[in-house]
Amino acid sequence: MASGLVHDIQSQVIYGRTYREVHKKKDAPSKWLPGKRHRCLRHGWYRKFGKRWTFADPFPNEIPRRRQRIGDTAGSTRGEEYMASVSHDYLDRIWDFDSLTREERKYTRNYWEAFHIWLVLNPRLLREWAGVDVFDGRIRRVIDGAEVWEDEPNVVVEYRSLYERARFILHRKKDLRYMVELYGELVKDIQR
């Protein structure tokens, strides 16, 4: 399973909010069902892989339809929580990296975890590329075809927490530190 930190970072990039409670709740069964087995609970979309969705079509029409229904009856935040939950299952399925060997899988997971952490360490990129302004608490959204920056003060608090967690994990895990230093520097070279 992708770590809680990776799920939270990805949600902040996609939706502007980390939806940490959604991810925590979904992965809580991993405490008593470690590894892949925890996904027999609270990971409905994950289990429907190959039947109702594929990597080529991860969010077929039924998903935006359900989101709309939830949004109409329970509010837009609930609708977005639902999307964060579906995206969680999608990421978990990618994170299996079934086609790779054990060694390749370990390296690839570290690489992608380091990439997510690197994004957190580059808040300007979050603002310019992902449309999440973690300095002033705003999210770029397209409403009726027009682009607007909407105020969302929670973004600042959630980002600060992600930043602290990212720093902490880099301090603890040598492999991730190595990846961030290696590839982070390469990206800087390309941007120059």
Given the complex with Zn ion, which of 92 and 158 has the nearer CB atom? Answer: 92
Q: What residues between 141 and 160 interact with Zn ion by CB under 5 A?
A: none
| 102-117: b (≥16 Cβ within 10 Å) or e | eeeeeeebbebbbbbb
Closest distance between Zn ion and the C-beta of residue 43, in Å?
Answer: 6
| 63 CB neighbour count, 10 Å cutoff | 19
For Zn ion, give the closer residue by CB, 1 or 13.
1
Question: Taking a C-beta distance cutoff of 8 angstroms, is the pair 9, 117 a contact?
Answer: yes
Is residue 26 classed exposed, middle or buried when 0-12, 13-18 and 19+ CB atoms within 10 A define those classes? buried
Min dist. Cβ of residue 114 to Zn ion (A):
20
Beta strands in the chain (DSSP E): 132-133, 138-143, 146-151
d(CA 87, CA 171): 28
* 117 touching Zn ion, by CB under 5 A: no
Q: Which stretch binds Zn ion (CB under 5 A): 13-21, 23-31, 146-154, 157-165?
A: 23-31
Shortest reach from residue 1's CB to Zn ion, in Å: 5
Nearer to Zn ion, 96 or 175 (CB): 96
Tell me if residue 53 falls in helix, strand or coil.
strand
Instruction: Select from 8, 27, 80, 81 the one that contacts Zn ion (CB under 5 A).
Output: 27
Give me the 55-94 binding string for Zn ion, x by CB under 5 A, dash otherwise.
-------------------------------------x--
Which residues in this chain contact Zn ion in the complex, by CB under 5 A?
Answer: 1, 27, 92
